[in-house]
């Protein structure tokens, strides 16, 4: 074995150029992941809130975001996230650095995450709950205790809505069921009790410049005082924020909340696509390489398969919309769901049609990879098996195919990598802007392929370009993009580990 980076005479600078290209590619990949990690995961860190006193004008509370140089001058200005949309009419404020008279970080400043109007930054004056008023130093402990109770009530209410009420409503829509109607009435009565228990408490808030605001506590999701938190407390809060992002559904037009339905939809769609594309792609590759007579027609088919791999994905989306959704889905509705028409069941976009469309999109990749794997199997392996008395089918199933499985999994890995990141065809065949309920529940058939679903790629597109506040949505875009990369990585690593295991068992195929 030659020493590292030594080269033979006459090779010239090409080894160095190749090594430099690899290093540049790895550096760009590391830079991309670092950008996504810093921009996304940093969003969940409880950042310090500054009390800014300008030289002119009223003071305000804000979280510093970034600094930029003013165009055409040497002055620099800083962007602050100020929240308080209901008081100020905007959430962001630029201020020149030389216009700041004083900067402080009072520990009593609070940040409230609200369902409406976004975050509030300011002072907590009092908590009024059931005729009792907690003011001064007692207000913050009382608020923490009341928020913990509210979170328990919300969890129970959401569980009743998703796991009890929604299935009962579908049962009633399918046919009259007195028992289901009575159970639904009891569940709705309990939800009304929970709603009543969450009402009544009010927060008295005050902005830094002295304006008062009364905030119903039921609209407050979380509260924290970042300036008074220690590093371990901030780390724990960061972990809870990341967990909520992974486990909760989106809200506020996808500009807040979590992405759990999108994670589930992406993984489920890729798994269904893999189940469909793998057998068809493998069988097509086996037929072209091992069964079909090699001639002009077979070569023409191979050229067509390779050209299909370069067709724009939106074309597959149009095909899926016309053939799968309107053609097959519309026929299924006419045959089996005529009573539900004109409301379609399968004649509209859904998880099944999206998976089939992406299976068709990635089919050429699997076919080509399977053919290349079959071509790498040495001919003497086939001849030896036949010479020992094996039939052609036994030679294929017991000798050739086991040695080709690593190549098949390589095609599947490439298919998963492409399908998980596709967005354009999904917009036509089933992805939804908001589908908070995943298409799996305890009701038969448990996996509902006809329902719409959310997808991480489309969620990134919608959040970045269709939100009301793009600046506020960018951290979530970074975090979701990082999550999509990690999901693809996990799916690919699963197939890669399986491929390495099979290569260890059939080492001839990997060396051929």
Is the pLDDT at 106 greater than 70? The verdict is yes
Is the pLDDT at 46 greater than 50? The verdict is yes
| Least confident range of 144-148, 229-233, 398-402 | 398-402
Greater model confidence, 271 or 438: 271
384 in a domain, yes or no? yes
Residue 251: the pLDDT is 79
What 3 state SS string does 225-249 have?
CHHHCCHHHHHHHHHHHHHHHHHCC
325 in a domain, yes or no? yes
Q: Residue 266's domain is classified under what CATH number? A: 1.10.3720.10
Is the pLDDT at 10 greater than 60? The verdict is no
Domain that holds residue 341: 260-511
Average per-residue pLDDT for the chain: 85
1: confidence class by pLDDT, cuts 50, 70, 90: very low
Q: What's the number of domains the chain is made of?
A: 1
The percent of the chain in helix, strand and coil, each rounded to the nearest 5, is 60, 15, 25
Name which of 71, 52, 61, 73 is nearest 109 in CA terms.
Answer: 61
428 in a domain, yes or no? yes
Name which of 164, 288, 154 is nearest 220 in CA terms.
Answer: 154
Structure tokens at 14: 């090409």
223 in a domain, yes or no? no
79 in a domain, yes or no? no
- Express as a percent the part of the chain with pLDDT over 90: 23
Residue 332: the pLDDT is 86
6: confidence class by pLDDT, cuts 50, 70, 90: low
178 in a domain, yes or no? no
Instruction: Please state, in angstroms and rounded to a whole number, the distance separating the CA atoms of residues 215 and 340.
Output: 44
Residues 390, 398 contacting (CB under 8 angstroms): yes
Say how many C-beta atoms besides its own lie within 10 A of residue 303's C-beta.
10
Structure tokens at 342: 């004109």
Is the pLDDT at 339 greater than 80? The verdict is no
Structure tokens at 511: 């060396």
Q: Which residues contact 301 (CB under 8 A, 6 or more apart)?
A: 288, 292
107 in a domain, yes or no? no
Is the pLDDT at 212 greater than 70? The verdict is yes
Residue 11: the pLDDT is 64
391 in a domain, yes or no? yes
What one-character DSSP code corresponds to residue 453? B
Give the global pTM. 0.84
112: confidence class by pLDDT, cuts 50, 70, 90: very high
What one-character DSSP code corresponds to residue 59? -
Residue 464: the pLDDT is 81
Instruction: Please state, in angstroms and rounded to a whole number, the distance separating the CA atoms of residues 374 and 180.
Output: 57
């Amino acid at each position: 074995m030659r020493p590292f980076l030594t080269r033979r005479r006459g090779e010239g600078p090409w080894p160095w150029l190749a090594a430099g290209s690899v290093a540049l590619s790895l550096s760009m990949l590391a830079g991309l992941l670092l950008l996504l990690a810093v921009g996304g995961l940093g969003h969940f860190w409880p950042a310090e809130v500054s009390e800014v006193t300008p030289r002119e004008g009223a003071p305000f509370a804000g979280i510093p975001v970034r600094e930029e140089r003013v165009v055409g001058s040497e002055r620099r200005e800083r962007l602050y996230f100020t929240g308080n949309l209901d008081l100020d009419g905007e959430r962001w404020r630029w201020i020149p650095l030389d216009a700041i008279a004083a900067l402080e970080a009072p520990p009593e400043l609070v940040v409230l995450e609200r369902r409406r109007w976004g975050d509030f930054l300011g002072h907590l004056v009092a908590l009024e709950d059931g005729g009792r008023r907690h003011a001064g130093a007692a207000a913050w402990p009382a608020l923490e205790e009341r928020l913990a109770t509210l979170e328990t009530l919300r969890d129970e209410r959401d569980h009743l809505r998703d796991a009890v009420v929604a299935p009962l409503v579908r049962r009633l829509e399918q046919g009259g069921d007195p028992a289901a109607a009575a159970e639904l009435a009891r569940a709705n009565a309990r939800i009304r009790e929970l709603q009543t228990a969450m009402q009544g408490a009010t927060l008295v808030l005050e902005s830094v410049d002295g304006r008062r605001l009364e905030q119903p506590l039921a609209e407050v999701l979380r509260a924290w005082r970042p300036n008074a938190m220690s590093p371990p407390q901030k780390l724990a809060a960061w972990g809870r924020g990341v967990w909520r992002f992974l486990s909760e559904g989106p809200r506020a037009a996808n500009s807040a909340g979590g992405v759990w339905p999108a994670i589930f939809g992406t993984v489920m769609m890729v798994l269904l696509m893999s189940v469909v594309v793998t057998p068809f792609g493998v069988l097509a590759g086996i037929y072209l390489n091992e069964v079909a007579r090699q001639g002009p027609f077979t070569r023409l088919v191979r050229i067509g398969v390779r050209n299909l791999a370069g067709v724009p994905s939106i074309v597959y989306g149009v095909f899926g919309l016309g053939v799968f959704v309107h053609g097959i889905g519309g026929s299924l509705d006419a045959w089996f769901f005529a009573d539900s028409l004109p409301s379609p069941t399968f004649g509209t976009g859904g998880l099944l049609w999206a998976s089939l469309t992406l299976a068709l999109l990635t089919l050429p990749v699997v076919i080509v990879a399977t053919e290349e794997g079959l071509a790498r199997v040495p001919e003497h392996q086939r001849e030896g098996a036949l010479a020992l008395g094996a039939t052609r089918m036994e030679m294929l199933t017991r000798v050739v195919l086991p040695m080709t499985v690593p190549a098949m999994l390589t095609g599947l890995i490439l298919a998963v990598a492409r399908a998980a990141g596709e967005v354009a065809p999904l917009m036509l065949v089933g992805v939804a802007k908001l589908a908070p309920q995943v298409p799996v529940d305890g009701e038969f058939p448990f996996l509902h392929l006809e329902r719409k679903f959310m997808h991480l790629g489309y969620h990134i597109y919608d959040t970045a370009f269709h939100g009301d506040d793009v600046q506020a949505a960018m951290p979530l875009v970074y975090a979701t993009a990082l999550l999509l990369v990690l999901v693809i990585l996990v799916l690919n690593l699963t197939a890669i580990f399986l491929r390495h295991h099979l290569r260890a068992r059939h080492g001839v195929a990997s060396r051929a």
